[in-house]
A and B are shown apart, each in its own frame.
Chain A
């Protein structure tokens, strides 16, 4: 695939992520902060998001396996996940966290379990999509091109 095609593919891919509600304008904000001085800024921030999310999802899974469920602690953890997903524009994950918190508030175990599954699922999707997008960007750079804005 030649450079122009790669660039077009990236633009189309990115556009679809916004249209399908995977990403929101906060992601655009992050991209606008990236420059020659810090060309890996977005990748770095997203990597931190992946680390944080995986840790939190593990902790939430464990919390829901306990005999006595600590809803308050879980709520704090979902709040953290909501915050970081909001900060990178991971729109669907953020929205699910809001629902998850509501279930925590009313101590609804079934609701929490369901939400956790959904959040894990959505997180998996956005992770794959962002990684694909970064790979595409890298291919463009390797081919000597620049990332279209």
Chain B
């Protein structure tokens, strides 16, 4: 999985827009993304993010929107527009709803995680974000880009996650507690601890179908 990620990364560089009001966190996430071979743009607020994307009708596109954004990673708690509000705006825009959005938060609150996933967030990372978290998100994005169509994408993504889970040797320490309603065994020490969360999301989707 790691080798596949590296090969793909050299052919196609993801452009990531990182949104965080903290100077420190912007610097760290920028480094994590650059090390993971991404092009990075950092902005300090949801409003700036929308401007960059060209979604802010008042200010216009300001000539920034030349580079296509492949992924948005945003902090949850920001003054003004929260990451959740930014997520909603993006998912409700016809032009940008396809861009995967990852939420980062220092607070591990289940209702918060659920609402973000419900609004269409790809992942919810608990801060401080580690390199293993970023690499996993990258792998998911690259795999996602390889498949066609929304429904197929979701099924394939789950398949890749299952493969990833089986072969992954690095354990992510994004500590997300298992939901009490989760059908999965809750084991905090499993490798790739976000897998139960993904499976929970997928399980929810499958139940609806």
> Assuming the A-B contacts A45-B28, A79-B77, A87-B28, are A29 and B130 also in contact, with contact meaning beta carbons closer than 8 angstroms in the complex?
yes
On whether the beta carbons of B32 and A80 are closer than 8 Å, the reply is no
Of the stretches B19-27, B43-51, B113-121, the one at the interface is: B19-27
A142 beta carbon closer than 8 Å to chain B: no
On whether the beta carbons of B32 and A87 are closer than 8 Å, the reply is no
On whether the beta carbons of A83 and B23 are closer than 8 Å, the reply is no
Residues of B within 8 A of A82 (CB): 106
Distance, CA A45 to CA B35, complexed state (A)? 16
Contact of B25 among A38, A79, A84 (CB under 8 A): A84
On whether the beta carbons of A29 and B27 are closer than 8 Å, the reply is no
On whether the beta carbons of B79 and A87 are closer than 8 Å, the reply is no
On whether the beta carbons of A48 and B32 are closer than 8 Å, the reply is no
On whether the beta carbons of A33 and B23 are closer than 8 Å, the reply is no
On whether the beta carbons of A52 and B22 are closer than 8 Å, the reply is yes
Residues of A11-39 at the interface with B, using a CB-CB cut-off of 8 Å, are 26, 29-30, 32-33, 38
Distance, CA A45 to CA B28, complexed state (A)? 7
Question: Closest Cβ of chain B: how far from A39's Cβ, in Å?
Answer: 13
Residue of chain B at shortest CB distance from A80: B22
On whether the beta carbons of B31 and A86 are closer than 8 Å, the reply is no
Query: How many interface residues does chain A have, given as a range?
Result: 20 to 34
B127 beta carbon closer than 8 Å to chain A: yes
On whether the beta carbons of A26 and B128 are closer than 8 Å, the reply is yes
Query: 0/1 per residue, B11-46, Cβ < 8 Å to A?
Result: 000000000011111011001100100000000000
On whether the beta carbons of A87 and B130 are closer than 8 Å, the reply is no
Query: 0/1 per residue, B157-184, Cβ < 8 Å to A?
Result: 0000000000000000000000000000
B137 beta carbon closer than 8 Å to chain A: no
Interface centre among A76, A79, A84, A87, by most B CB within 10 Å?
A87
Query: 0/1 per residue, B116-137, Cβ < 8 Å to A?
Result: 0000000000011011000000
Residues of B within 8 A of A89 (CB): 128
> Assuming the A-B contacts A29-B131, A33-B32, are A83 and B27 also in contact, with contact meaning beta carbons closer than 8 angstroms in the complex?
no
Contact of B22 among A38, A44, A84 (CB under 8 A): A84
On whether the beta carbons of B35 and A33 are closer than 8 Å, the reply is yes
Question: Closest Cβ of chain A: how far from B186's Cβ, in Å?
Answer: 24
Residues of B within 8 A of A29 (CB): 128, 130-131
Contact of A76 among B27, B28, B79, B106 (CB under 8 A): B79
Rank and list the top 3 A-B pairs by shortest CB-CB distance, nearest first. Answer: A84-B24, A48-B23, A48-B24
11 of the cross-chain contacts (CB-CB < 8 Å) are A26-B128, A33-B31, A33-B32, A38-B31, A52-B23, A80-B21, A83-B127, A84-B22, A87-B28, A87-B128, A88-B24
